[in-house]
Amino acid sequence: MPVLCSRCRGAPAEVRVAAGRLRLCPDCFIEYFEERLMKTVQEFKMFRPGERLAVAVSGGKDSGALLHALRRVYPNLELLALHINLGIKGYSDHCEEKVRRLADMDGAELRVLRIGEMGFTVDDFLKTIYRNRVCSPCGVIKRHLLDSMTLESGVKTLATGHNLDDVLSTMLETFFAGDLAQLIRLKPVLPSRHPKQTKKIKPLIRLSEFEDYMYALYTEIPIRSENCPHSPAIKKGREVLEALGKGRPGFRYQALSLFLKKLIPILEREITQPELKTCGRCGFPSSEDICAYCKRVDLVKGN
Ligand SMILES: [Zn+2]
Ligand SMILES: [Zn+2]
């Protein structure tokens, strides 16, 4: 006898959901996923239903699940999907194709920026001092361009597909690096601190990577099947997280809740965020006179 779904009791259960100790059938899992996203949006007052919302889509399962679930939960929301084609050989065009099909399926307006048309690609960083850690300049470039695309479109809020595992593993890495000011940036809602900075929201912060994957699978959304050739097989924070959570299904949810309710308020009281200047070149926020984005672009273009 198959185990029956804890919700509908009519269909065989296929997915275990750690947060509520549930075993769900595919339909009830989709429902569970969308309810959890909606509750997160409401709890942290992420946006208003009539607002125009930008969503960063990479072609992967997390941002794909995010766009699709937002569309299903908020059918009238004006969604602007933003995609950056990073010019990575054998990868970026594949991602862009999936994003185009997804935006079409979800009736989202799509804007694509190809950095190749700006005179460089992420692959070009292999010829620089970043050759062993291309993800670092790639992250800087993506963040900057997503902000500028959002602002150019007249939208104030940008949603990203960071999931529970992303936030917790980055939290561990940042904590061990001793960068306490940076920890605050993992909050579910980051208000803008500069006229050229968007408000950032993480509607998937209470959903795990596995749950995003299952949602993408069950809803049959187009997602990439290639992996980025530059991304490391195992990330440090992820390893620590796996070890800590082994055999403790509720661990991740408790850790997130402790982080948000206990640690963040203390950090916000005690740590002064570094003052934001304005980049003399592009006018975007920066901690120095010239921002990290402008420096990386100069480097890769050999200026
Ligand atoms: Zn069910
Ligand atoms: Zn700049």
Q: For residue 113, report the distance from its CA to the centre of ligand 1, in Å.
A: 41
Per-residue pLDDT at 231: 85
Please write the tens of the pLDDT for every residue from 128-147: 999 989 999 999 999 999 99
Please report which ligand is nearest the Cα atom of 29: 1
Q: Is 80 exceeded by the pLDDT of residue 70?
A: yes
CA of 242 to the centre of ligand 1 (A): 29
> Tell me, what's the pLDDT at 202?
98
Q: How far is the CA of 222 from the centre of ligand 1 (A)?
A: 24
Counting ligands in written order, the one closest to the CA of 290 is 2
Provide, rounded to the nearest whole percent, the portion of the chain with pLDDT above 90. 80
Q: What are the structural domains of the chain?
A: 26-301 (3.40.50.620)
Assign 3-class secondary structure to the chain.
CCCECCCCCCCECCEEECCCCEEECHHHHHHHHHHHHHHHHHHCCCCCCCCEEEEECCCCHHHHHHHHHHHHHCCCCEEEEEEEECCCCCCHHHHHHHHHHHHHHCCCEEEEEEHHHHCCCHHHHHHCCCCCCCHHHHHHHHHHHHHHHHHHCCCCEEECCCCHHHHHHHHHHHHHCCCHHHHHHHCCEECCCCCCCCEEECCCCCCCHHHHHHHHHHHCCCCCCCCCCCCCCCCHHHHHHHHHHCCCCCHHHHHHHHHHHHHHHHHHHHCCCCCCEECCCCCCEECCCCCHHHHHHHHHHCC
Residue 151 CA to ligand 2 centre (angstroms):
15
Residue 1's pLDDT band, with cuts at 50, 70 and 90, is confident
Output the CA 146–ligand 1 centroid distance in Å. Answer: 38
Q: Within 10 A of 51 (CB to CB), how many other CB atoms are there?
A: 13
175-233 confidence digits (pLDDT tens): 888 888 889 889 999 999 999 999 999 999 999 999 999 999 999 999 999 999 998 77
pLDDT, tens digit, 9 for 90 and up, residues 225-275 = 999 999 877 777 888 888 888 888 788 999 999 999 999 999 999 988 878
Going from the Cα of 60 to the center of ligand 1, the distance in angstroms, rounded, reads 26
- C-alpha 299 – ligand 1 centre gap (Å): 54
Summarize the confidence of residues 6-18 as an average pLDDT.
93
Cα 129 to ligand 2 centre (Å) = 20
Q: pLDDT at position 110, please?
A: 98
- Residue 125: the pLDDT is 94
Q: How far is the CA of 67 from the centre of ligand 1 (A)?
A: 23
CA of 62 to the centre of ligand 2 (A): 29
Residue 64 predicted with pLDDT over 90: yes
**Residues in contact with 209: Cβ distance below 8 Å, sequence separation at least 6, in sequence order:** 62, 163, 164, 165, 166
Residue 13 CA: which ligand is closest? Answer: 1
Q: How many whole angstroms from 83 Cα to the centroid of ligand 2?
A: 20
Task: For residue 28, report the distance from its CA to the centre of ligand 1, in Å.
Answer: 4
The mean predicted confidence, pLDDT, of the chain is: 93
Ligand found nearest the CA of 24: 1
Relative to the alpha carbon of 5, which ligand is closest?
Answer: 1
Residues in the chain: 303
Query: How close is the Cα of 29 to the center of ligand 1, in Å?
Result: 7
User: How far is the C-alpha of 22 from the C-alpha of 270, rounded, in Å?
Assistant: 39
Query: Binning pLDDT at 50, 70 and 90, where does residue 72 land?
Result: very high
Say yes or no to pLDDT of 55 above 80. Answer: yes
How many Å lie between the centroid of ligand 2 and the Cα of residue 41? 32
